[in-house]
Structure formats: C-alpha cells, structure tokens
Amino acid sequence: MATPNGIYRNGVPKGGSTSIKVERPFALNSNVKSSNNKSKLTTSTSNLRRSSPGSLCGGNTTIKDDSGVPGRVRVAVRLRPRNGEEMVADADFADCVELQPELKRLKLRKNNWDSDTFEFDEVLTEFASQKRVYEVVAKPVVESVLEGYNGTVMAYGQTGTGKTFTLGRLGEEDTAARGIMVRAMEDILADVSPEVDSVSVSYLQLYMETIQDLLDPSNDNISIVEDPRTGDVSLPGATLVDIRDQHSFIELLSLGEAHRFAANTKMNTESSRSHAILMVNVRRSVKGREAAISSENGNTSHLVKNSKPGVVRKGKLVVVDLAGSERIDKSGSEGHTLEEAKSINLSLSALGKCINALAENSPHVPVRDSKLTRLLRDSFGGTARTSLIVTIGPSPRHRGETSSTIMFGQRAMKVENMVKIKEEFDYKSLSRRLDIQLDRLIAEHERQQKVFRDELEKIAAEAEDRVSVAERKYSEALENERLQHQKDYKESIKKLEEQWALNQQKRDKENKDLEASREGPSAAASEEIAELKQLLQNEINSRKAAEQETNTVKAQLAQWKRSEAAGNTEILKLRKMLEEEAHQKEKLEEEITILRSQLLQLSYEADETRRSLDKGGSGNGFTGLDSLVSQVRQSQLNGSGNGQKGSIAKLFEQVGLQKILTLLESEDADVRIHAVKVVANLAAEEANQEKIVEAGGLTSLLMLLRSSEDEMIRRVAAGAIANLAMNETNQELIMSQGGISLLSITASDADDPQTLRMVAGAIANLCGNDKLQTKLRAEGGIKALLGMVRCAHPDVLAQVARGIANFAKCESRAATQGSKSGKSLLIDDGALPWIVQNANNEASPIRRHIELALCHLAQHEVNAKDMISGGALWELVRISRDCSRADIRTLAHRTLTSSPIFQAELRRLRIDC
C-alpha cells in the first residue's frame, strides 16, 4: 500500500503495526439454471443496494460470512440486425436464430423443421436500445463497484457482431448511441464526491500476447504482477489518469481508440485486432465511522479521537472488449493480419478452456495459458461480480460461429464467483491529521530557535566589538616597536659599510706590491703549461671518438645477423601459408561446384512447381513466385511424421543461409538467378525473415535491385523485398538503406506487369507505416505508385490502390492525433484525379481500396475544398448510397454528415445525403 510522507514502508507502519483490511461479502444470487428455480432470499443488511428484478445481476440474498458468497456469472445475448451485404446475399434465407425475449429464450435453427432452445438471463433483440442494454447488463455491476466490490463487464462474439458498438460507442453525435463505457462513467461520477472520493482510469490493449498502454503508445510491454499472498493481479506499469468530469473521460477514450490496432477484413472494415481493457478504480470514504468509535462515558481525549482512522471502500470496474473470433477462410486475413487472427483465436481458446474447467469444477484451471486469462482470473472464479454479453448475427452463413458463441455463454452461466466487499482503514487521512499537528509543533520549535539565535547573535556582536578594540591597541604597539628596530638596523648597516671601505683600501695597496715582485720569471712558464694542457685534452677527445665508432660498428653487425635469422623464419612461414591457401582454395572450388549443382536442381524443381500451379489455376501468390516453402509445409502436414523435408528446407539446413547469400554475388548469371529464387522463397516464411535480415540478405537484395539488368532477377528480388516489408522493423531498414529510391527507379524502368506488381506491393506495404510517410513521399514513393498505373494491368492497379488507401489511412490517423496538419500529401502529388477516376472501377479489389482512400481523405477538413473541386464529393455521395458494403457505406455517410464544408456544398447543390 502506498502511503504519504514515508510513514509506511513495505506496507507496514513504523511502529510495527500493520494496516487492517475489512472484507465483507456482497449478497448475490447463487447459481440458478433457469427462472423456475429461483430461490426467494432476504437480505440482512440495509446498506446494500438492490437491483431491479429485470436486471442481469438482480436479486436479494443474505450475507453468510466474511469469506464471501457465491454469485453466478450473468449472461445476456444480443442480436445484431442484418447489414447491407447480408440483406443482398441472404435475401432468400431465413435468420438462423429466433428470439423469445419474454421467456428469455433463444432458438437456433438446425434446418427448416428442427432447432435447439437455449435459456439466458436476458435476451436482447436487434431493436433493443443502448440504454436498455446498459441497464440490464452493466448498471447492477456499476452499483456494486460503488459499494466497494470488484466488477467485470465483458463482450464476446464473432467479429463484426457489435461488441465495440455495445461497449465503446462514444455517442458524440447521438447521445442515445452511447455505449456501456460512457454510461458507466456517467453513473460513477454522479454518485461520487470530488472532495473525498477519487476515480482513476487505465486503458490498455492486449495485442499479440503483449499488454500495451493505449494512453501512452511508447509503453508497449507492460508486465503482469501477481501478489503471492492474495493472488491479486495488478499492472503497475500502466498509465493511471484521474477523472473529474465526463468530457475528459470521453477525450481519453477517443485517444485510446486512435491508438488501438484495427484492420480491414472481408468480415469488417474496421476489425479490432486486439482486446481492449478499461479499468476504473473507485475509492470512496465511509462517513460516520469515527462517531461510532468513542468511549462509553464520552470523555475520550481529543488526541485519541483524532487517531482513529476512517474506512475506505475500493471498487474496480473492468470493461473488456474482446477482439472478435474469426475463420481465416471467411475473413480473408493474410500476412501480418493472419498472424493477428491466430493470436486472437489462441487467446479466446484459452479463455474458453478456463470457462470449461470452472463450469465442470475441474481441480486445474489453466489460467496461465494466456495473458488474457491471467488478467481475467478475478472475473471468472474469483471475487468479482461479472456480467457477460454475447453478440451474435442472424446470417445463416455464420451459423457455426453463432452456435459456438451461444455455447460459450451457456458454459459461462455455470461459473460461480465468491463475491467480496473490500474495506480498509483510511490511514492516509489519519496521516494527514498527524502531519498537521507535526507541522504546528515544528513551527513552535522553529520560533523558539529563532529567539535563541537572536540572543546568541547579540552576545556574539558584543564580543566582536571587544576583540576589535584589543586588536587595534595591539597592532599600534607592534607598529611602534617595528619602527624603532628598523631605525637601529639602518644605523648598524651604515657603520659596517664604512668599516668595510677602509679594509678594502688597505687590501688593494698590499696586492699591488705583491704583483710587482712576481711579474718577471713566471710569465713564460705559464704559457708552456697552458699549451701542454691543450694537447692532452685533444688526445683524450680523439680516443673517445674512436671508441664510440667501434661500438657503433659492432652493434650494426649484431643487428644485421638478427635480421637475417628473422627473414629466414618469415620465409618459411610464408611458404607454409601459401601451401595451406592452395589447399583451402581447392576445397572451396569443390563446395562451389556442389552448390551450383544443388541450385540448378532446386531451380528446376521451382520452375516445375510453378508450371504445375499455373496449370491448376492458382495465381493468387503475393510475391509472384511459386512459394516452394508453402508447398513443402503442406506436404509435411499431409504426409507421415517421418516424411522427407522439402528441397528448400534441406538446402537451407545443409548449405546454410550465409553461403546461399554469398552466391547472390556470383559472376555466373544462372547461379545468381537460382540463388535469388531460393532467398525469395525463404523470405515468404515469416520465421526466416529475421534470419535473412541479420545475415545481410536485405542489403544483398537491394544491391541486386540496383546493379542487375536482368528482368527476372529484379522481379524476384522485388518480390522478396515486398515480403520483408510486411515487418515494421524491416520497413525502417529498407527506408534507411535507400530502398524506396531503388524501388522507384525499378518501377520507372520496368515494363513487365509481374515486376511492376512486386514493386507496387512493396511500396504499398511501406505506405502503411505512420513513421515513414514523410520520407517515403520525399524519396518519390507516391509518384512511383502513380507512375505504375500506365501498365493498366488489374493486379498492378490493385496494389497501387492498396498503397494509396494505406497512405490515406495513416494520414487520417495522424490528423486525428494532432501530429499532422495541412493538406494531404496525396493531393499535393496529384493522386486525386486518378482516385476519382477509379472510385467505381469494375474490379472489386481496386474499387474497395479506392473507396476507403476517399473516406479517409474526406475525414480531414483541410482536404474538403480540393475534393469538391476535383469531383470527389459526387463519388462520396455515390458510395454512401450505392456501395455494396454496409461498413464503407456507413463510413462515407458519417464523413459527409460530420464535415461543415461538405454539408454546405450539398445544400448549395440541393442534394440530400
């Protein structure tokens, strides 16, 4: 427990006493199978709220003991109305479900004459309002959270059935469309007191088994911490925001939704690719607690009364918007979207296993199989009050997914939680009162210290005055004595100088007499002695020079002998190294010969496989190469466990990736072609992409794209780069190594549709990265895409349209987040005329991407005038009316109605949207 001013350490107060927690059970219904078996129980506490009989979690029970009471998970089912696509495709077929809301039953048709019947706590038709859904599903849970309990509201169902609409709809345009999140916060803020209570919010997403903070995108790997003593799960690394009003909460939800991962699939235009988790922590103070703790005679001292802590109730509301389950063959997921779908289905499967284990009272519940189940361990089989809403669709095409969703809800109804209320003494307020008393005592102490310091300063000043007077008198006496000594010193010096002058005159007179007596015979002897000394000194110098020269010659001779010995040794070493190099060269030549033969065989097998696939009509491969790796994997799945590996995998294991990449620089053109085919097929597997990049494969592919003049090599290299460009890290590497410039040059030089399709696919993948948009446009990426429309091949145009849609979507997201202003770069580069021209293209892939690009461009108000002048407004009106896909039609309609400029132009033209 965190406490102010350091009064507590590691959850224990300084004095050895521990914080006291009070847990009381909340009265809930026990597990009831149907409405006929409901027991009539009475409540024994008057301070607990009662839910209405029609609510999911309603009912009155009696509190049993402090260990908690059983409360079953309440489940409601909500039917989504048919969308535009289902109205056309399933017009001749009846709905696969029949609702009986008055009996709280649902019938799932097997065929025209047989059906299965299921009972739920609440059955909501397609006409049920958002307010009705909130009142029967979430409001009882919100009331429990305000009383100090943990609560969970979760939505489960197939993708596209309305989970996010039910939970997270903001309702900014229409308040009646507000979802559970907004309505729950409105009730919480209306019930709490801002002076003594607090409400804080965290908004997260579980994406690819990593917990990411939607309020702080840089915080993308939050760890789960479990208390070993109580088993409670917490996320200490998540951003926690205090909420004071409803407007700030809606802005927070909008920011989180902008950072949430979504993708366009055949099932849903904006399909959520992550589980969104909203955590609301409510802290409320219980009034009147101190008045109840008093002595019988009423003489309790003021200090004792102030030391009694109040009581705080803490409740946590968790709202979980699960990502929709989906079948790959129906959603059409591929590439990274396919990996996202696999991760979503695995986490939902782990949740289903936990629900089954709890429903069957299994001794082992596999909560650690997924981070989702670890986060929800308190919601299923824990101490939280849980409501689950399952969403289904009416289409008979999805009857299997609808049946699976219904069975999930049926199993969840069998799960019981032990619901508890959590109270704890408010030591924080007590600490604040003690801090006030401590501050008062400190102020009094400081006042007394100030008086004492003033007295000390007065005494010190008087002492300093006395010391200064004594020092002045001492310095004057010292100066007088110094002047007297200086005067005596000068007089002594003067006397000594006079005595020295007399002595000097006497010595000079004596020296003159002595020199006059010695001057005759000694002058010649002195000259001869000086000459002998000079000759002796010259002889000594000559001898020293000869000795030095002799020593130098000896040292040079020894050095020459050592150099000769070292040279002989070095010659022997060089001869041995030459022999080893010759032997190594022979071995490398043998290995190169073997590799060439293996590459030739592999190329032959790849060409044979491509021809067989072309004959069979399979032409949907992304890279333009026939993926031998995919064929090998399929043969392994269909064959026995000890079957032989594919030829590419065998070559990869036996030869090694580094040697294969080395052959990309071979002088033999055939060897280079076969080597780049092998690398391209290996790059089709996501598991190999990281190895290829680490080994320098990306650099080698870009070098081939720059230097090779062979059309086949450039086509295959561009396909391999397109596969590597599906990874965000690889995208940044491609851009940093000038990849977009090389792709643009290749696009301008190539005429083959297949080569252009590979290049357009690679650029389209790079267009989906928010961080690279400015650099991609600066290096000619957008102009290269628009330049490739000259080919007019449908596959090339589809990739160009996909790239433009990705670029427009990133621009729209950046404008919403406030990181971009100004007109779209696509409009600046002249892409709008081509977009308008192909908005109603006969090819469905081209048309779908262009329609999405128009909707995203229209969401930024600064683009509106250019779109009106370029004729895009007419296409938006057509899309909002005639588009075959309901989600795109709805998006276009919402964009038109939210733009003041578009609305003004439509009124001028007298067009009703």
How sure is the predictor about 660, in pLDDT bands with cuts at 50, 70 and 90? confident
Given a contact cutoff of 8 angstroms between Cβ atoms, the answer to whether 698 and 724 are in contact is yes
Tell me the C-alpha distance between 497 and 503, whole Å: 10
Shared domain check, 373 and 232: yes
Shared domain check, 390 and 325: yes
Of residues 398, 476, 430, 471, the one with CA closest to residue 160: 398
How sure is the predictor about 245, in pLDDT bands with cuts at 50, 70 and 90? very high
Q: Is residue 596 part of a domain?
A: no
Of residues 806, 796, 713, the one with CA closest to residue 335: 806
Shared domain check, 456 and 416: no
Average pLDDT over residues 292-320: 62
Given a contact cutoff of 8 angstroms between Cβ atoms, the answer to whether 204 and 212 are in contact is yes
Average pLDDT over residues 884-890: 86
Shared domain check, 327 and 281: yes
Shared domain check, 459 and 420: no
- The pLDDT assigned to 320 comes to 95
- The pLDDT assigned to 411 comes to 93
- The pLDDT assigned to 652 comes to 56
In order of 86, 89, 398, the CA distances from 92 in angstroms are 10, 8, 15
**For residue 666, what are the contacts with CB-CB under 8 A and spacing of at least 6?**
672, 675
Shared domain check, 161 and 132: yes
Q: What is the pLDDT of residues 826-870, one digit of tens each?
A: 888 888 899 988 888 888 888 889 989 899 888 888 888 888 888
Tokens, residue 750: 């190539």
Q: What is the pLDDT of residues 605-631, one digit of tens each?
A: 555 555 554 444 333 333 333 333 343
Count of C-beta atoms within a 10 Å radius of residue 210? 14
Q: Which of 129-138, 217-226, 540-549 has the lowest mean pLDDT?
A: 540-549
pLDDT over 90 (residue 279) = yes
Last residue of a domain, one of 492, 521, 540: 492
Given a contact cutoff of 8 angstroms between Cβ atoms, the answer to whether 402 and 99 are in contact is no
- The pLDDT assigned to 4 comes to 33
How sure is the predictor about 157, in pLDDT bands with cuts at 50, 70 and 90? very high
pLDDT over 70 (residue 222) = yes
Q: What is the pLDDT of residues 475-497, one digit of tens each?
A: 888 888 888 888 888 888 888 88
Range of the domain at 120: 74-286+309-425
Count of C-beta atoms within a 10 Å radius of residue 692? 24
- The pLDDT assigned to 300 comes to 42
- The pLDDT assigned to 602 comes to 61
Q: Which carries the bigger pLDDT value, residue 340 or residue 516?
A: 340
Shared domain check, 342 and 275: yes
Given a contact cutoff of 8 angstroms between Cβ atoms, the answer to whether 872 and 836 are in contact is yes
Q: Which carries the bigger pLDDT value, residue 734 or residue 11?
A: 734
Report CA 759 to chain centroid distance, whole Å: 29
Q: Is residue 483 part of a domain?
A: yes
Q: Which residues are part of a known binding site for ATP?
A: 157-164
Average pLDDT over residues 300-310: 51
Shared domain check, 279 and 394: yes
Question: Residue 547, SS3?
Answer: helix
- Written in H, E and C, the secondary structure of 833-876 is HHHHHCCCCCCHHHHHHHHHHHHHHHCCHHHHHHHHHCCHHHHH
- The pLDDT assigned to 524 comes to 59
pLDDT over 70 (residue 723) = yes
Question: Residue 802, SS3?
Answer: helix
Residue 153 burial (10 A CB sphere; 0-12, 13-18, 19+) = buried
- The pLDDT assigned to 600 comes to 62
- The pLDDT assigned to 25 comes to 37
Of residues 425, 423, 421, 426, the one with CA closest to residue 49: 421
Q: Give the β-pairing of 21-25 and 416-426.
A: antiparallel
CA angle 650, 652, 658 (to 5 degrees): 155
Average pLDDT over residues 232-246: 91
Q: Is residue 145 part of a domain?
A: yes
Average pLDDT over residues 402-408: 93
- The pLDDT assigned to 64 comes to 36
User: Helices H, strands E: what count in the chain?
Assistant: 34, 21
HSE (CB half, 13 Å, CA atoms) of 636?
A: 13
- The pLDDT assigned to 23 comes to 40
% of the chain surpassing 70 pLDDT:
79
Q: Which carries the bigger pLDDT value, residue 120 or residue 791?
A: 120
Tell me the C-alpha distance between 673 and 596, whole Å: 11
Q: What is the pLDDT of residues 311-332, one digit of tens each?
A: 788 899 999 999 887 777 676 6
- The pLDDT assigned to 38 comes to 36
pLDDT over 90 (residue 178) = yes
DSSP H helices, 519-627, are 522-616
- The pLDDT assigned to 628 comes to 35
How sure is the predictor about 232, in pLDDT bands with cuts at 50, 70 and 90? confident
Shared domain check, 236 and 131: yes
Tokens, residue 791: 């080919």
Residue with tokens 């959270």: 145
pLDDT over 90 (residue 728) = no
Given a contact cutoff of 8 angstroms between Cβ atoms, the answer to whether 20 and 14 are in contact is no
In order of 471, 633, 635, 793, the CA distances from 638 in angstroms are 110, 9, 5, 36
How sure is the predictor about 651, in pLDDT bands with cuts at 50, 70 and 90? low
Q: What is the pLDDT of residues 551-567, one digit of tens each?
A: 888 888 788 878 778 87
Residue with tokens 């088993």: 231
Tell me the C-alpha distance between 132 and 53, whole Å: 14
Count of C-beta atoms within a 10 Å radius of residue 389? 28
Of residues 243, 242, 248, 278, the one with CA closest to residue 260: 278
Maximum pairwise Cα distance, the chain:
164
Q: Which carries the bigger pLDDT value, residue 310 or residue 409?
A: 409
Shared domain check, 481 and 413: no
Average pLDDT over residues 213-238: 87
Q: Which carries the bigger pLDDT value, residue 211 or residue 829?
A: 211
- The pLDDT assigned to 181 comes to 94
Q: Which residues are part of a known binding site?
A: 157-164
% of the chain surpassing 90 pLDDT:
21
Tell me the C-alpha distance between 838 and 835, whole Å: 5
pTM over cut 0.75? no
Tokens, residue 826: 């696509």
- The pLDDT assigned to 423 comes to 74
Strands of 402-498 (E only): list them.
Answer: 416-426
Of residues 234, 157, 200, the one with CA closest to residue 398: 157
Tokens, residue 267: 């099932």
Q: Is residue 204 part of a domain?
A: yes
Residue with tokens 């706590």: 121
- The pLDDT assigned to 194 comes to 86
Q: Could you tell me the CATH number of the domain that includes residue 173? A: 3.40.850.10
Tell me the backbone φ, ψ of residue 805, rounded to 5 degrees: -65, -45
- The pLDDT assigned to 138 comes to 95
- The pLDDT assigned to 596 comes to 62
Average pLDDT, the chain: 78
Tell me the C-alpha distance between 811 and 797, whole Å: 21
Q: Is residue 446 part of a domain?
A: yes
How sure is the predictor about 91, in pLDDT bands with cuts at 50, 70 and 90? low
Question: Residue 155, SS3?
Answer: strand
Number of domains in the chain: 2
Count of C-beta atoms within a 10 Å radius of residue 702? 20
Q: Which carries the bigger pLDDT value, residue 759 or residue 595?
A: 759
- The DSSP result for 736-797, as a single string, is HTTHHHHHHHHHHH---HHHHHHHHHHHHHHHT-GGGHHHHHHTTHHHHHHHGGGG--HHHH
Q: What is the pLDDT of residues 770-780, one digit of tens each?
A: 888 888 888 88
> Which 8-state DSSP code applies to residue 224?
P
Shared domain check, 253 and 396: yes
How sure is the predictor about 30, in pLDDT bands with cuts at 50, 70 and 90? very low
Shared domain check, 452 and 365: no
- The pLDDT assigned to 37 comes to 36
Count of C-beta atoms within a 10 Å radius of residue 522? 8
Average pLDDT over residues 158-185: 90
Strand order in the sheet with 97-100: 97-100, 105-109, 115-119
Q: Is residue 867 part of a domain?
A: no
How sure is the predictor about 693, in pLDDT bands with cuts at 50, 70 and 90? confident
Last residue of a domain, one of 492, 509, 532: 492
Q: Is residue 477 part of a domain?
A: yes
Q: Is residue 316 part of a domain?
A: yes
pLDDT over 70 (residue 640) = no
Given a contact cutoff of 8 angstroms between Cβ atoms, the answer to whether 727 and 767 are in contact is no
**For residue 98, what are the contacts with CB-CB under 8 A and spacing of at least 6?**
106, 107, 109, 115
Residues forming beta bridges with residue 13, ordered by sequence position: 8
Given a contact cutoff of 8 angstroms between Cβ atoms, the answer to whether 135 and 55 are in contact is yes
Q: Which carries the bigger pLDDT value, residue 174 or residue 264?
A: 174
- The pLDDT assigned to 642 comes to 37
The pairs formed by 190-194 with CB atoms below 8 angstroms and a separation of 24 or more are: 191/146, 192/146, 192/282, 192/284, 194/244
Query: What one-letter code names the amino acid at 414?
Result: K
Count of C-beta atoms within a 10 Å radius of residue 906? 19
Tokens, residue 343: 């991760």
First-to-last C-alpha distance (Å) of the chain: 57
Last residue of a domain, one of 439, 473, 492: 492
CA angle 879, 884, 888 (to 5 degrees): 55
